[in-house]
Structures are given as C-alpha cells and as structure tokens.
Chain A
C-alpha cells in the first residue's frame, strides 16, 4: 500500500517539477536562517555565523540530487526531459520531420492495412464456437464442390468428424407479400446449425430430424441483418409464410447477429434446408451422384484426438470406396481438408496475402534504411553538439538515449498517422461491395490487434533506424571535433549510409518494377483475346424458376424472350447461354468426353474434360466468337434432332488432330449420347484469365433446358437506354420475372477482380517505393551539398564550371541510384515470376517494362536532386568564404 502510494506520488511529481523545487529552496533558506541566528546568539560574527550554518548543513547540490531522486522517478523525469528536447529538435527542422513522418506513416499504414485484411480473411477463425477444430473438406483439386449423395456417404462413412454438415448457394426471388426481390442464401443440410453449435437469436433452427426426404422441410431461417433490414427487427415474422421462387416457406427463426454464414467473404440473407433446394433451383440435384454442383462445401468438427493428417487418410479411404462402388459416376477425385470459411479459395488468398506481406515488409525495410541514413546524416551534422555534451560530462549512454528518444518519437508519430489512415481505409473496405448483386463482403473490423501491430512496428522501426548513428556517437572523440570541426572523418562515415541508401533504392526499384509488370499485365489482359467480344454487348440474366417456370415451359419462354429482345430497334444480334457465359462468376462446369467406341464410360477412360456451355442459335454471332469451320446451331437442333456439338479449336486439335478433321466426327458423353461435331470455334478463356488454354464444348441449349440463363445482346446503342427498353419488354412478357441487365464489361470485372486488386495493391506499393526513393536520394544529395558548400565555393572561385560543380555535388547520388536501380530491376524481374500466376500476362521480360523502370528511376533521381543541385549551383564564393 505504502509503496504503491509513494510510487504514484513520485510518478505525479515527475511531471510537475517547479512547485516542489520552490518549496525545498524556501525550507533550506529558513533552516540556514534559523541556524545562523542561533550561531549569532552563541557569539559569532554574522558572516562567520552564516558560514558555519552552511557548513553544518552540508553539500547543497548532492542533497538536492538526493531530494529529487526521492521525490520523483528519475527515469521518467529524464524521459520527459528527452522528450521535450526531442520535440524542440524536431520543430527546429520541420522539413526533416515531415519527410520522416510521412515516410513512416506510409510504410506502417501499408503494413497495418495488409495485416488487417489478412487478419480478417485468414487469421481470424469463423465466428462460431470451437472454430479451431472446424475443417472443411475439399473434393478433387482446389474445390469443395461435390454431389449430395457423395456428401451423404462421406457423412455416414467417415470416422474422423463428429458430424458433417453441407451447404450450397441459393439465389432466389424472395416474396414476403407483394414484391419479389432477389435474395441469396445457403441451402444447408439439416444438421448445419447443430454442427456449428449455434443458438438462434429468435425462434428455432431446423435440424436433421426435420428432413424427411425431398421437399419435406419448407422452413426458413433468416440472417440477423436480413431480418433487420427487410423486416425491421419485427419479432412477429416467426410463423409467417414467405415465397421463394413462388414456393411457400415458413420462417421459423433468426440467426444470431454475429453469424453471417460459413464463408468469410460472403454474407447471406437466409438459410433453408437443402432437401427443399430443388424447389428453388428447379434442378434435381439431390439424387444425381455425378452432379458435383450440388454441394458447395461440407465441413465439421474433427473428433477430439483426431489429427488433420488422420482425417485426410480417413476421407481418402471413403473416396476409394466410392470410386470402387460407383465407377461411372465418381470421378478420380481425392478428398482433403480445407480452411473452413475460405474453402478452396484458401490457397490463392494465402499466396496472395503472403506476397503482399513480403512487399509491405520490404517497404518498411526501405523506410527504415531511408530514415536510418537521414538520421546518420543528422547525427553527423550534430557531431559538434555531441562533442560538447561529452566534453561537459554527459555519458554516451545518456546521449544515445536522447537520440533514440528522438527516433522513437518520430516513428510513433508516423505510426499513429499511418494507423489513422489505414483504419479509415479498412473501414471503407468493409463497407465495400465489389460486385453489385453478389453478397460478397469483406469482414474487416479494425480492432485492438491492428493497433497493437502498428504500434509495435512503429517501436521496432524507431529502434532500428535510431540505432544507425550509434557507432558514430560511440566513436566520437570530443577533443578532435571541438578542435577541428566535424569534417575530418566524413569520408568513412558516409560509407554506411551509402550502403543503406543503396539497399533502399534497390528495394524501391523492386517495388517499381513489380508494379509496372502488374499494370502492364492488367492492360494486356483487358485487351487480350477472350474468344468473345465484350464491347457493345449487354447480358440479360434471368432465372425463370423465380417466376415459376419449369420443364417444357422453359425453352418456350426463352425463345419468346429472344424474339422480343431482337425486335427492339438497334439490337443487332441476340443469343442465349444457359447459366452464365464464360468468365462470369467463374461459371464453367466440365463434362466428361469419351472417344467414340469407348466400351466402359469409366472415369479412367475419359478422353477429355472440356468446359461445357449450352448455347442457343445465334449465340456465337452475338458473342462475337468466330466460327472457324462447319456450322453453328440452328433452331432445328432440338430434342428430336440428332445430338450435335460445336467444339473449340483446342479440343478439335487434341481430339481429332486438326480443325477440318473434326467436322463430322463423333464423341460420346457420360450418358452414352453419341454426339456429332458440326462446327469449330476459336479458342477462348473460360474460367479465369490466367488459365492455360482449355478445351471447351458447346451444346444446343434447348436440348437441356435450364431456368437460369443469360441473353447476350449486341447493339451499338447506349447501354442504359437499351437496358431500360429490354426491361420494359420483358415486363410486358411476364411482370413477375426479376431481370438483371448489365454490360458484359461490368460483369467481366468479377473475372478481373483478382488481377485488379493485385494491380491496385502493387501500384500503390510502387508509388510508395517511388516516394521513398525520392526522399532518400533527396536526403543524401541535400546533405552532401550542404556539407561541401564551402568546397564548392572554393572550386567556383578557382574557376570551376557549372558542369564540374554539379558533377562533384551529385555524382555520388547518381552512382548510387544507378547501381541500386540495376540491382532492383534484376530482383524485380525475379520477383515478378511470382506475380505471373495472379496477374494475367505478367511477364517481366518485356522491353517496355524495363524501359519504363529505367525511365521512372532516372526521373525520380532528377526530381530528388533538383533542389540540392540548384543550391550547389547558386553558391556565391565570396559570400561563403566570408562566412566562416
């Protein structure tokens, strides 16, 4: 108690010094006065009496030191004094302070942002109880997709999971009385909430016991946010019947507020039992083992004591069993475990984040090198001050502490500024919805961890660059410096700083190179050949199931839609594709293709697995995909006509040797249909821009009708007007059908999203790198010019020309810049190989990239040395020589 009380008092006193000094002074004066009076009374002369009194009192200064040490905490008092001094020093050179703070703010801010995103996507587990033992399963290569029957077998036959739940995405027309709007949700297995261990906010969840076969559980659980936004937190929604794609469902509960579904980057509106899914999707997904689109992901808690490796072995055993039991329907696909919440995106996200972290780490390192050399230069400038302090008895440790205080103060200010910036940015990111209509949402939530990381980074960088001048201070010989000025040993001292600056320029050049490579890659991918033409094209997306169509009604209605849209003035061509066209929402399902005459249609006999698109007559024209040989589909290629297909050049070449060879040949599909190849079209991109060339097959859409389709509309008209007329036309056709119209280019943004994000990120890093090299080169050039102004004065006085002065002043900076840039370019080219798999067509061996890097770096050098050069040129010898 007493000790704590005393500590607090001393802590307080450390801040308030003046008042107490006054009290001590007064007490001492009074003490001496009283003693003197006493001495006088005992017969001494007044002067002698005072002398004796002082003697008796003892060493005044030593006692004051003791008193001060008792009164307050010396460490803190010294720290406060250092801080005050540091603030004064920083205010004295506002330019230096601003450069340092901005540099650090950018470096620390960039790191905080990257950490925030990584925290949200990777580090933080799903917001459910015991998330650490929750694993998703992966089926095949990099995907969670599998069929419902496979899931059932996996659930019942594995020995590793407590229980396995599954879900798939459901996009529906949600009708709560009156108007129907699109909503997205999960169709989840009955045990979904029980596996997660969640409790409803309101009402109840559905359970495994609610499932009694197909369409047996017309129940609906709302997500909290949807309940809030659509039903205004109305508790009476429980028991209300709403319609999903015209089918009645009863709302039975509301999920807890912090649960937004089992994918971290998606927040959904509702949860429905998967046994009722075909009502809204219109497809019979549940009883087809070969249909691997039924389940998006399965997940569950591992049993206590089961390691992930054991679980993988167990899952593989189930896979082997399934492959033996259902040889025709179960593909050769291995099971493995995945990060729950990210599923198959985990690997790509992780690779990308790792890359980003490396780059931001480099930026921080560059900033450290930059500030280190600036600090070294400053310390050299202040060597006279240091020498004087040493001569007056300051210990070297004390001086170092003071320098470190300055460095850490700067880095803390920079850290706070950077943190504020990054938190603002992160908050905007979390509001961001990259794709209209898709429930994608980044769950970024700046919290204490981000603050802590930023502050720790600030401290560490402060210490790192603050340590640069240490050697300099330790070696300072006060006698030499006070005697001769600070110039004597300058040559050697600059060497360390030169090295730092060289490193920093190298790092910056790496960043600039990477961003150039990325930007160029993006430009290329925007102007590359996709195998279709996205300009002047609209996509009209409808899901006829939302308006209650099914079976025979689908092709009839779709044909009418095509006719109606084609009749709009200005529309040149229309064509329809089931689901989505290539590249949109990564829509590409593969189909197994066998050589004609294959006996057993087993997975091991599959010849190729091309992407499959079901397209209507006119689609190739409307999409701008050129026909290389044969014919496109006609309206006669329907269910009664013989099966025909159009293949792309890749498949034609691989399967039949050449394009002309393919026409008229046959192949066999999984369901044993014999298909004749009637046409060959050009190659294209199907799933992503970065994929290698893939085979593709196009089948007539109306042989296998689907409710979800996109109509491609080619027209030179203004997209907005055209979209309005398309909408009104379709409303005349069926007022209850939700229609999405957007330009093909907008939809392509989704496919380009990853490269865009990567490019923006790299572009920002490149810009920061460029800024850093400017400040670094500027710092060095300005410093060396100011150090050598006198020398330049003498040179000019002796008749040196401008060119020679410039050469003397800036040769060193430029040499460093050249060496650093060359090294950076080299490293950058090596690093860019890593980029190639995110950014499409990113190749560093591109003369334009090389040229622009060299150009940018020289431009940076020019900008950074401009002011110092001006200063060197403007020396007036007479004035300078007079000065000293």
Chain B
C-alpha cells in the first residue's frame, strides 16, 4: 500500500528526526538505510524522496547540516538534530502516540461499548 504524499512526507520527516535523535549525526544514505531497516518497504524504492524532506526540515530549522567525510573517506553532508528539532520531535511523538492510542482504542471497541 502506498501512503498519500502528505502523510508520507509527515511520517518520513518524523522518522528522520527520530533517527537523528537516536543515532546522532548521519549522512543522507545513513538515514535512508536506518529508515529502510526499521520501516521495511517505505524507502525500499525511491530513496531519493528523502532529500526534499531533508531540505525542508533544514529550512524549517529542525535539523542542521555540514560537510564531513563518510566511511569510505569521501565528502558527505552530515545532518544533525537541532534543539528546535528536538522539541518538535517531542511534540510530534506525543501527538502520534495520542492519535495511535485513540485509533487503537476505537478499533478494539466492541459493539456494546458503542451503544
């Protein structure tokens, strides 16, 4: 199943923030790999879609980037979470958890609960 663009961008952005929060500064490929490992097929194809999301997050000030060298000793752009990004991650995580809780409760509800 393919997620709608807006949702996909939103979830992707949140995953990027979480990944950077857990693993520290990473380059684009690194982020893509982590997300692929954890989320399965969301980034199995079209890894490129990650880059517009990174750009947007950077413009919004949630992440920052600088040049560094990658594991095979080439120039790579490393992204890291900013303080503002951290706050945003917290807020959005709470939001997601709330939503998830509500949805879960809703789906687990029996007929008699709704009457």
Q: Which of A's residues lie within 8 Å of B, judged by CB?
A: 2, 5-6, 9-10, 23-24, 26-28, 30-31, 33-35, 37-38, 55-60, 63, 66-67, 69-71
* Residues A6 and B59 in contact in the complex (CB < 8 Å), given A30-B70, A37-B72, A58-B49: yes
Interface contact B55-A71, CB-CB below 8 Å: yes
A–B complex contacts, Cβ < 8 Å, 25 sampled: A5-B60, A5-B61, A24-B51, A27-B28, A27-B51, A27-B77, A28-B48, A30-B74, A31-B29, A33-B74, A34-B27, A34-B70, A35-B47, A56-B45, A57-B48, A59-B46, A63-B48, A66-B49, A67-B51, A67-B55, A69-B52, A70-B52, A70-B56, A70-B59, A71-B59
Name B18-49 residues within 8 Å CB distance of A: 27-29, 32-33, 44-49
* Complex Cα spacing A59 to B49, Å: 9
Q: Contact at A26–B29, with CB atoms within 8 Å?
A: no
Which chain A residues border B45 with CB–CB below 8 Å?
Answer: 55-56, 58
Chain A: CB-nearest residue to B36: A56
**10 closest A-B pairs (Cβ-Cβ)?**
A58-B46, A63-B48, A34-B29, A66-B52, A58-B48, A70-B52, A31-B29, A6-B59, A67-B52, A30-B76
Q: Is the CB of A30 within 8 A of B52?
A: no
Q: In the complex, how many angstroms separate the beta carbon of A50 from the nearest chain B beta carbon?
A: 14
For the complex formed, measure the closest distance between the CB of B82 and the CB atoms of chain A, giving whole angstroms: 12
B47 close to A31 (CB less than 8 A): yes
Q: For residue A826, give the distance in angstroms from its CB to the closest CB of chain B.
A: 65
Given A23-B77, A26-B75, residue A70 in contact with residue B61 (CB < 8 A): no
Check A30 against B61 for contact (C-beta < 8 Å). Answer: no
Q: How far is the CA of A34 from the CA of B33 in the complex (A)?
A: 10
How many residues of chain B have a CB within 8 Å of chain A? 25
Residues of B within 8 Å of A28, CB to CB, are 48, 51
Give Cα A2 to B87, complex, Å: 13
Distance in Å: Cβ of B37 to nearest Cβ of chain A: 12
* In contact, A10 and B59 (Cβ under 8 angstroms): yes
A24, A37, A56, most chain B CB atoms within 10 A: A56
Determine the distance from Cα of A754 to Cα of B76 in the docked complex, in whole angstroms.
78
Q: Please, how many angstroms separate the alpha-carbon atoms of A34 and B28 in the complex?
A: 10
> CA A60 – CA B71 in complex, angstroms?
24
Closest A-chain residue to B53, C-beta based? Answer: A70
A28-B48, A38-B33 given. 17 additional CB < 8 A pairs?
A: A6-B60, A27-B77, A30-B76, A31-B32, A34-B29, A34-B71, A34-B72, A35-B47, A55-B45, A57-B46, A58-B47, A59-B46, A59-B48, A67-B52, A69-B52, A70-B59, A71-B55
B81 nearest CB across to chain A (Å): 15
Chain B positions 59-114 with a Cβ under 8 Å from a chain A Cβ:
59-61, 70-72, 74-77
Bound-state CA distance A837–B23 (Å) is 89
CA distance A69 to B48 in the complex (A): 14
Q: Is B60 touching A2 in the complex (CB atoms < 8 A)?
A: yes
Contact A2 B48 (CB under 8 A): no
Evaluate contact between B49 and A63: CB separation under 8 angstroms: yes
Chain B residue nearest to A1 in the complex (CB): B61
CB-CB under 8 A from A69, the residues of chain B are 52
A55–B44 Cα distance when bound, in Å, is 10
* A6 CB, nearest partner CB in chain B, Å: 5
Knowing A5-B61, A10-B59, the reply to whether A60 touches B48 (Cβ < 8 A) is yes
Q: Which residues in A have their C-beta under 8 angstroms from that of B72?
A: 33-34, 37
Kindly identify which residue among A2, A27, A38, A56 contacts B61, using a CB–CB cutoff of 8 Å.
Answer: A2
Interface-centre pick from A5, A6, A24, A57 (highest chain B CB count, 10 A): A57
| Complexed CA–CA distance, A30 and B32 (Å) | 13
Complex-state Cα separation, A839 to B15, whole angstroms: 82
Residues of B within 8 A of A60 (CB): 48
Which residues of the other chain, A, contact B61 by a CB distance below 8 angstroms? 2, 5
Q: Which of A37, A38, A63 contacts B51 (CB 8 A)?
A: A63
Min CB–CB distance B45 → chain A (angstroms): 6
Chain A residues positioned under 8 Å from B51 (CB to CB): 24, 27-28, 63, 67
**Complex Cα–Cα for A189 and B33 (A):** 92
A2 to B84, CA, bound (A): 10
Tell me the smallest distance from the CB of B55 to a CB of chain A, in Å: 5
Closest to A9 in B: B59
Specify which of A30, A55, A59, A70 is in contact with B55 (CB 8 Å cutoff): A70
- Interfacial chain A residues near B29, Cβ < 8 Å: 30-31, 34-35
Minimum CB–CB distance from A170 to chain B (whole Å) comes to 71
Which one of B27, B44, B71 contacts A56 once the chains associate, using CB atoms below 8 Å? B44
Distance, CA A118 to CA B72, complexed state (A): 75
Q: Is the CB of A30 within 8 A of B48?
A: no
- Write the chain A residue with the least CB distance to B84: A2
Q: Which chain B residues border A30 with CB–CB below 8 Å?
A: 27-29, 70, 74-77
Decide if A57 touches B47 in the complex (CB within 8 Å): yes
